[in-house]
Structure 1
Amino acid sequence: MQEGNLSSTLGVNSTECAPIDDFRNQVYSTAYSIITVFGLVGNGFALVVLIRTYRQSSPFHVYMLNLAVADILCVCTLPLRVIYYIRKGDWCLGDFLCRISSYALYVNLYCSIYFMAAMSVTRFLAIVFPVLNLRLVTERRARLVCVGIWVFICLSSSPFLMSGASFDPKTNKTKCFEPPRSAGLKKLLMLNYLSLVMGFVLPFLIILLCYAGIIRTLLSRNHAARRQRETGSKAIRLIVIVMLAFLISFMPYHVQRTIHLSFLARSDTSCEERLAMQKSVVVTLCLAAANSCFDPLLYFFSGEGFRSRMSTLRYSTRGSTVHAAPLTPAMQKGRMRYKNKTKASGRQGQVV
């Protein structure tokens, strides 16, 4: 669950092995720097578009807005990790920021999973039960779901606030993102299985059931109307992006974390096996943090709604710079056609 050398910290497998500090410091500092740049640019741009065009809101876009906020909050803490690993594992930013940095990463990780599950359920209802969707899915209920997700994830991730900075007399450095020395392996295993079931397996099963229902409904349509075909293409794009995020970011991390903690309970492992396992911790955690870079793809390709918001924002920005210029009759007709098109796309976004 943490980024340090768990085996040495917990006192399991007492045989000393060569540390992977150089590998860990180089990979984490490079990966977190790249994720910070792409995450800030992508999610920052999405957040500006979603906020500036809030009048075109829909339940699906409420989830996108909350997902972008979670990503921004997480990405803003990654530079602190970069500083830590550039300093070769010496924390200099105080105990409070150490706790917040660790906490923010896992809050973002599990909020992303649950917001993706909520988006999948919303798309499922829109395609499989369109009449029920119009009556059941509203912006107000979407906001309540988001509040519930934030409260549940923030409370369930609170154990990560319990571990802060600590001084290591062996290296004469202040450590962060390391498990506490007093923590037992059984406690870590219990926390791992709890987060595995509630934070990954349960929402992933919900997503798979929703996608199975969506695909079955789309395949049963023989002569679908144009609007239905467009809705189906949006659903397919959502399925592809969410499944990629799970297969690349979420699943490797949770599978590897479970295997690693079970591996620590063994006493018959060699140094080569332990070093390989510790390096896999580094790689899969970087992949998990990279989920912030997948979400902008979800915003852009999940439907025409976000792209129409970009067009609206670009048009309003351009219009504000030339508002003093008189409009010809042809320009007035063009503006009216654009407004009508925007309203139509906004109504469609409310349904899907």
Structure 2
Amino acid sequence: MSNHSCNLPLDTDCFGLTCIYGLVFCVGLPSNLLSLWGLYHLGRSGGGSCQLVYILNLLLSDLLQLLTLPLWILYLREVHRWPYGRLACELVGYVFYVNVYASVMFLCLIALDRCLAIVHPLMSRGVRTVRVAAVMGVAVWSLTFLFCLCGLLPSVYEPQQRLCLEQYPVTARFARFKIATVLLGFMLPCAILGYTSAHIGVTLRRSPSISAHERRRIVGVLVVITTNFVVVFGPYHLVGGYRFLSLLVTSRPCELERSIFLVYRLCYGLTSLNTLLDPLFYFFLCADARMELQRSLSRCRRSAKPGSRVQPVSNNRRPGPSLIPS
């Protein structure tokens, strides 16, 4: 059954998704670049730790996702007709899926790292190292890429209708893959987030040694992660779970696709909003992050002035801000 026989209203999501993608790209790109710039100077000043590695990977994932948004906007302007051929569609489609679920996994790693640092600060020192964080980063990227590659094969491009990353109605194989992404890419991370949040909450109530400033930062991290899961990723996975489970059992798939098309597509677009929230980790997790970023930007402005000289770096420079709690 083809998309033409389903007679889907493909033009109904174009305006809404174009507005979402345009806003996310215009705001998310500079904010992620500024956060990466701040992390670079933070690492140079001696403030590196496993948290920095996780945040760095999260921001890189966001940047890759942001770079695909202009192509999706052009795709929507053509009313769901991909103008760049099969290879470009497959590349952009893989990048989009991989970075969505890589972001989810790095959010889980940040939550687990905070839980270990607060609940088991001494026992976890051997685990919370830059080397372990780097290994975990490589593992997340590799597993996510292989999982998405297996699920999206043989192609995400439909040549007759020139649809990219869309199929109406979907095959049973793709529906099972999407159900697996709901379970492994959303429900399991939600369980991890609930477990870590509960333990952190109990420790904060029982420990009087944690200052009010540190408590606000810890709560800020949990709020950002929870907002990502509930507001950004939640609607897409819940609506998608209903859609793909129903498609496996219904005898009228086109009727189901027509009834849920607009809601599902708008929830799909909401997943890009995580690129606006993720830079907040830089400010919540890095001590004196704003001051470090302001200093680096001030140095750039001074060096850009005509006739200015770059001051030599002293060997006795003070260590930069550290990540808390250590």
> Does the alignment reach a TM-score above 0.5?
yes
Aligned to 1:184: 171
Aligned partners of 2:25, 2:285: CA distance in 1, in Å? 23
Tell whether 2:158 aligns with 1:166: yes
Q: Which runs of 5+ in 1 are unaligned?
A: 1-6, 327-334
Residues 151-206 of structure 1 deviation map (CA, whole Å, 9 limit, x = unaligned): 111111113353243332xxxx522222388x632x23321222122211222211
Aligned partners of 1:283, 1:19: CA distance in 2, in Å? 15
Aligned partners of 2:62, 2:254: CA distance in 1, in Å? 39
Aligned partners of 2:253, 2:168: CA distance in 1, in Å? 23
Aligned partners of 1:177, 1:267: CA distance in 2, in Å? 23
Q: Is the 8 A contact 1:96 1:164 kept in 2?
A: no
Identity of aligned residues (%): 24
Aligned AA (1:177)? L
Aligned to 2:228: 245
Which structure would you say has the larger Rg?
1
Aligned to 2:321: 345
Tell whether 2:238 aligns with 1:255: yes
Aligned to 1:139: 130
Runs of 4+ residues deviating >4 angstroms: 268-271, 318-326
Structure (1/2) with the larger helix percentage: 1
Aligned AA (1:118)? L
1:316-331 → structure 2 map (5 Å cutoff): 316-317=299-300, 320=303, 324=309
Change (3 A) 1:76 1:95: same
Change (3 A) 1:119 1:161: same
Instruction: Choose from 9, 18, 25 the match for 1:36.
Output: 25
Instruction: Choose from 266, 273, 277 the match for 1:290.
Output: 273
SS in 1 for 2:126: helix
Change (3 A) 1:215 1:336: farther
Aligned to 2:143: 152
Tell whether 2:200 aligns with 1:214: yes
The Cα shift of 1:111 comes to 0.8
Instruction: Choose from 66, 86, 99 the match for 1:108.
Output: 99
Aligned AA (1:96)? L
Q: Is the 8 A contact 1:166 1:175 kept in 2?
A: yes
Tell whether 2:297 aligns with 1:314: yes
Q: Is the 8 A contact 2:42 2:320 kept in 1?
A: no
Q: Is the 8 A contact 1:90 1:174 kept in 2?
A: yes
Q: Which runs of 5+ in 2 are unaligned?
A: none
Tell whether 2:32 aligns with 1:48: no
The Cα shift of 1:26 comes to 2.2
Given the two structures, how large is their TM-score scaled by the length of structure 1? 0.80
Residues 275-332 of structure 1 deviation map (CA, whole Å, 9 limit, x = unaligned): 4411111111011122112112232234425334314423543664697599xxxxxx
